[in-house]
């Protein structure tokens, strides 16, 4: 259902942009100011985005069932899905609780780390998600430089009797587990292309790292990304609406040239 929600929102808004509603600690003068700042940006950009991603930047200061729940309600009123970037990465019992709490707060999907495996790892998250008709997005390759130390390391695949990169294994797991999406950094378009071939268009790719981390939106889309996660380039700008409009226009112009 989450994949369908995203497709419908992207079509309705005519946008592939997922807003990462992140703010640095220095902007935290008070909980009220932080909430109001987040609310204002939502009001400014909601017609031009297809979803919102919330991270610890808001959950820690505002509280899951206090300020964040109110923001989720506001975002849902705009017909936009909301995902929680908690990168769930614990034992199964804890992962189940994480999923239940975030879904109870109103999140439509959560992002999880496949490093912990399936049995007594991520299986409970998928079970809760299926029961509550929510989504699970798996990390395949993150956008920061150090990602190669974990996601890029070589591992031994017993079933295929071969050495492969960790991110290849995670892409295959996303297919086997029935994930609703995978995260692949826009900073590594060659990885997007490689993972897209494995997924065979069955699972959408979400690409963070646009702008602040050096990722290029058009390169990510051309490599196979379905959605672009953009945060600081929007949230820290004096005119966030202008930034989103410019990005959308560039993507549409590029698509027109390809046709």
- Compute CA distances 239 → 29, 45, 259, whole Å: 20, 10, 31
Q: What number is the average pLDDT over the span 69-96?
A: 97
Residue 87 a catalytic site member: yes
Q: Are 169 and 155 in contact (CB under 8 A)?
A: yes
Which is more confident, 122 or 214?
122
DSSP assignment letter at 210: B
Which member of 3, 37, 87, 173 is catalytic? 87
Is the pLDDT at 115 greater than 50? The verdict is yes
pLDDT attached to residue 119: 96
- Is residue 79 very low, low, confident or very high in pLDDT (cuts 50, 70, 90)? very high
- Mean pLDDT, to the nearest integer, of 94-111? 98
The residues that bridge with 19 in the sheet, in sequence order, are 52, 230
Give the DSSP per-residue string, 115-135.
GG-IIIIIHHHHHHHHHHT-E
The domains located in the chain, with CATH, are 2-258 (3.20.20.70)
With cut-offs at 50, 70 and 90, classify the pLDDT of residue 240: very high
Residue 188 to residue 31: CA distance in whole angstroms: 36
The alpha carbon torsion through 155, 157, 158, 162 (nearest 10 deg) reads -100
pTM recorded for the entire structure: 0.94
Could you read off the pLDDT of 21-42 as tens digits, one per residue?
999 886 667 899 999 999 999 9
The three-point CA angle 239-240-244 to 5° equals 125
Tell me phi and psi for residue 115, to 5 degrees.
-55, -30
Give tens-digit pLDDT for 198-236.
999 899 999 999 877 778 999 999 999 999 999 999 999
């Amino acid at each position: 259902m989450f994949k369908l929600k995203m497709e419908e929102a992207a079509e309705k808004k005519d946008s592939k942009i997922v807003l990462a509603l992140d703010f640095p600690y220095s902007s935290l003068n008070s909980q009220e100011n932080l909430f109001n700042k987040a609310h204002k940006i939502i009001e400014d950009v909601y017609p031009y985005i297809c979803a919102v991603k919330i991270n610890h930047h808001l959950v820690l200061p505002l509280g899951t069932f206090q300020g964040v729940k109110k923001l989720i309600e506001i975002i849902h009123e705009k017909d936009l899905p909301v995902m929680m970037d908690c990168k769930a990465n614990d034992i199964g019992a804890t992962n189940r609780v994480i999923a239940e709490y975030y879904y109870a707060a109103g999140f439509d999907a959560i992002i999880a780390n496949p490093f912990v495996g399936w049995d007594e790892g991520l299986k409970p998250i998928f079970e809760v998600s299926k029961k509550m008709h929510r989504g699970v997005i798996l990390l395949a390759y993150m956008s920061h430089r150090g990602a190669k130390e974990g996601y890029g390391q070589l591992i031994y695949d017993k079933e295929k009797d071969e050495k492969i990169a960790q991110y290849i294994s995670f892409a295959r797991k996303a297919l086997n587990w029935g994930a609703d999406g995978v995260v692949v950094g826009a900073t590594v378009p060659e990885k997007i292309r490689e993972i897209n071939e494995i997924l065979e268009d069955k699972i959408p790719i979400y690409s963070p790292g646009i702008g602040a981390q050096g990722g290029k939106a058009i390169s990510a889309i051309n490599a196979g990304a379905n959605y672009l996660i953009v945060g600081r380039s929007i949230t820290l700008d004096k005119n966030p609406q202008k930034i989103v409009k410019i990005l959308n226009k560039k993507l549409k112009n590029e698509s027109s040239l390809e046709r």
